Amino acid sequence: MQTIHLSRTDPDAFHSLQEAVLAIPDDRSEPVRILVSPGIYEEKVWIRKENLEIIGEQPENTIFRYGDGARKPRPDGSGEYGTFNTAVLLLAGQNIHVENLTVENTAGPGSIAGQALALYAAADRCSFRNCRFIGWQDTLFAGDAEDCSMKRLMLPDFFAQSSVPIAHPVIRNYFRDCFISGDVDFVFGPNTAYFDHCEIHSRKRQSEDRAFITAASTPAGQEYGLVFSHCRLTGDSRDHSVYLGRPWRDLAKTAFVHCHMDSHICPEGWHNWGKARAEALCSYVEAFNSGPGAQPQARVPFSRQLDNPELESYYSVENVLRGEDGWRGEVICSPTQPHCPQAR
């Protein structure tokens, strides 16, 4: 595995993650590891690669941050940035692993900046360990990058001209031991995304309006959407002020299994976003949860409170992420590993 060094101070290392990534040829099949030295890196990073690791020292001292919000005017005067151009870190391609980093969007609350992504996770078999994703509205988008015109992405030439495939039948993301914070819809999108032993932190809104953790947009025919397993739902929001989720699209699928929920979670748990039709189409599941915010008797009738032991297997990381290649959230997928398609 080739190793590349990124540092704010070492003259022999790359000083920008974007520059380091651009030094990797698109047609390279062997994995590449980028080691990131401690520091605050003020940059937006767009990555379209395969078989890549980005490893920091620890999230407290290895920080990528930027401050674009959806309301920011476009440089060409054609309107505002919109949601999907605001990401601090965009990952497309496949087999990408990120570890020990903080990614923060500093644009501010949605009432000021509009939506402001820290992470745009569009790569299949993309995993994150011991990372922090910090923002307000729309912190983490688990979604594809294929339909760039619909999202009105301002694509850099190097991204648009890359030969690395970005179209996948299902995009799978795995988050382990991560911290994710925001206030409104701060985990959202269509991907199959598994959050394992993560802390999901609801920040106090500036207004008295209620807040929302998830906004899934699961496409038709996809078995899993957003799955939270053994996570802690914390926050400095007032008691009973945060919903577990609402359906961005009618077929939204979200599950919380073996999670501890603090008192900021409202008793009804889920919101229909004013879409009565979605109540019969969405899938909102809770099982084996605990804490003052876990109130199964008070939940809205269109959610399901389950205690079937078979759910342990159904919502296991192996089942949720397996796809057609048997991926289990491994750190990196190289041609020598059995679950990597190139090895077949």
Which DSSP letter does residue 219 get?
P
CA distance linking residue 125 with residue 147, whole number of Å = 19
pLDDT attached to residue 341: 41
pLDDT attached to residue 332: 60
Q: Over the chain (344 residues), what is each successive 10-residue block's mean pLDDT?
A: 95 97 92 97 97 98 98 95 97 97 97 97 98 98 86 92 93 98 98 98 87 97 97 96 97 98 98 96 97 97 92 93 91 48 34
CA distance linking residue 168 with residue 92, whole number of Å = 10
Q: Per the CATH hierarchy, to which homologous superfamily does domain 40-343 belong?
A: Single-stranded right-handed beta-helix, Pectin lyase-like (2.160.20.10)
CA distance linking residue 144 with residue 92, whole number of Å = 8
CA distance linking residue 70 with residue 87, whole number of Å = 10
- 253 Cβ neighbours under 8 A, 6+ residues apart: 216, 218, 222, 224, 225, 226, 282, 283
pLDDT attached to residue 232: 98
pLDDT attached to residue 150: 78
pLDDT attached to residue 340: 46
121 three-state secondary structure: strand
CA atoms 217, 145, 130, 202: torsion sign = negative
